[in-house]
């Protein structure tokens, strides 16, 4: 996990600086998933299936959570996929926990573990 310090300056400048840092932190040939408010959201089952496909690529899987100003266009252009955790705005620390839980849930679904409780109404 790489955490970036909160930027200072105009929103455009903050986004440009954060983009340079995010892109520099990516391993070579990484599969980047940008968590972005404007991206489509997925069900837990769909995320589980997508996560399995991403893992099958053999590429390092990296998730990036946008800064307070959102992503610079260069990050979204580099991203292999974009995903939203929903239409509500979440603090970054909470978004991390929500992502971790959804990754755990996705793995549980793939392993047919009862954690997800798919039969609930």
- How do the pLDDT tens digits run along the chain, 121 residues long? 777 777 788 989 999 999 999 999 999 999 999 999 889 999 999 999 999 999 999 999 999 998 888 999 999 999 999 999 998 888 888 999 999 999 999 999 999 887 777 666 5
**Residue 120: both structure tokens together:** 């609930």
Helices 44-56/92-110 angle, 10° precision:
80
pLDDT of residue 53: 96
Tell which residue, 56, 36, 47, 65, has the closest CA to residue 108: 47
User: pTM, whole model, 2 decimals?
Assistant: 0.88
pLDDT of residue 108: 94
pLDDT of residue 119: 65
pLDDT of residue 120: 60
For 11-116, which CATH superfamily applies?
SPOUT methyltransferase, trefoil knot domain (3.40.1280.10)
Tell which residue, 81, 103, 84, has the closest CA to residue 38: 84
Please state the domain extents for the chain: 11-116
């Amino acid at each position: 996990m790489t955490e970036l310090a909160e930027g200072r300056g105009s929103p455009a400048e903050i986004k440009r600086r954060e983009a340079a840092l995010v892109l520099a932190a990516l391993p070579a040939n990484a599969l980047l998933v940008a968590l972005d408010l404007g991206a489509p959201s997925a069900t837990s089952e769909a995320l589980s299936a997508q996560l399995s496909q991403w893992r099958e690529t053999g590429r390092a899987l990296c998730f990036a959570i946008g800064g307070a100003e959102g992503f610079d266009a260069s990050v979204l252009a580099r991203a292999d996929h974009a995903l939203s955790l929903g239409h509500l705005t979440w603090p970054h620390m909470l978004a991390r926990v929500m992502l971790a839980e959804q990754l755990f849930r996705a793995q549980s679904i793939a392993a047919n573990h009862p954690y997800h409780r798919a039969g609930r109404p």
